[in-house]
Amino acid sequence: LMPSQLWNLNWVVRDVTDLEDDSISFYPAMAHQIFGENEKIFGYKDLKVKLYFTAGPLNIFLSIECSHKLSFEEHNITPDDITALISEKLPAGCYYTNIDEFCNVVRKADTFQPFGEKIVQFDTNVEGERRFEIYFCTPTTPKFFPYHARFESFIMWYIDAASYIEQDDHRWLFFFCYEKYLNKDGNPCYASAGYGTVYQYYAYPEHVRPRISQLIVLPPFQKLGIGSRLIRTIYNHYDSNKQVLDITVEDPSEDFQSIRNYIDAKLCMELPAFQPDNLRGGFSKDMVTEAKAKAKINSLQCRRIYEILRLYHTNVNNEDDYRAYRLDVKKRLNMMYILHKRNLERAERRGMDVTAAKVGMTPLTERLDQLHEEYNVLEHEYQRVIRKLKEQN
């Protein structure tokens, strides 16, 4: 059985009545980090896995239900130990298996208060007016890590190749977003919506290079602009810090990179170096300098923003302008192939045997097809960002 077919998830239980409301349940994006590469569970019939979290403090309930389970005594085969596989990724001793006990926890969860210092407050009107707040935490924030460990368990279901942080490392910083809402009694409460973590790497001689490591927004809160708010909040945190060289991102997903591209393009499009005439002149050191000064944007990301904004100002119906743009981007995409080819030619002139290396090199005609495909994929992503920029402007 595939785990995605078996779940009855309600990650954001605000009231006991939510436990019976299947309409607010949702599924994990992946399960291979729990159940293996094939994402299969063996040995059960009519299986239902229930994993609930209280909205604010994220107290956890785990239940396994089925109509029949294979036994070693009857079939000489052992079914998968689902509880062990899931609980291995949960904070030790930090989940409930008795639904009555969990209901009592749900009733008390309204008193939850966010950890750390409130640094941002904003409203959204996407699905009615809603209030959100972002809080800043450090490893020294009192009683913070047990809560963080519960929140961090979400990454196993939503971030590929995820790993938990080392809690004793003082270089981690945390940014948590909560929805502030009124419960049925009219009292203000908090629901955990998403968070981002930043690791502050040392940079010679006395600088810091922050890296955004994890960023997750829970499904009920997606499409509300929370991801971009978290990224901008991280940017603002380092805005006036002269020790920071630039901000990087660890293995960004496509969705994250798209959000980041939009934010950075919006920040850069008013800068002098990114005006249309300068963009048509090609990528420049001035762009790197101004982007780094504006938002700590690193040179690799700056090149990406240059390509997005140049396309933004390119008339694709003008063949000369559009062709000049395509050639500029393809030249960058093909740089490693050309460098490798030149190195082989240089080695061959020196009398070295490069036969084996040439066999592994993509033929030129095939490389041109690859390059065309790479460019089309890239332009498609850039156009997504451009459409959003035009909508906002």
Sequence-distant (6+) residues with CB within 8 A of 373 are none
Q: Is 227 annotated as a binding residue?
A: yes
CA 125, 126, 130, 136 torsion-angle sign: negative
266 contacts 225 by C-beta, under 8 angstroms? no
Instruction: Read off the DSSP letter of residue 244.
Output: B
Residue 228 annotated as lining a ligand binding site: yes
CB within 8 A of 253, min separation 6: which ones?
A: 159, 160
Cα–Cα nearest to 13, from 114, 109, 153: 109
360 a known binding residue?
Answer: no
Distances 140 to 168, 202, 214 between C-alpha atoms, Å: 10, 20, 19
Q: Cα dist. 130→118, 124, 180, 235, 330 in Å?
A: 17, 5, 8, 24, 44
Q: Cβ distance 135 to 120 under 8 Å?
A: no
Whether 166 is catalytic? no
Q: Report the alpha-carbon distance of residue 238 to residue 102 in Å, rounded.
A: 40
Catalytic-role residue among 250, 345, 366, 373: 250
Q: Distance between CA 195 and CA 174 in Å, rounded?
A: 7
Under 8 Å between Cβ of 216 and 194: yes
Q: Give the containing element (helix H, strand E) for 60.
A: strand 60-65
Burial 137-149 (b: 16+ CB within 10 A, else e): bebebeebbebbb
Active-site residues, by number, are 250
As annotated, the binding site for acetyl-CoA includes 222-228
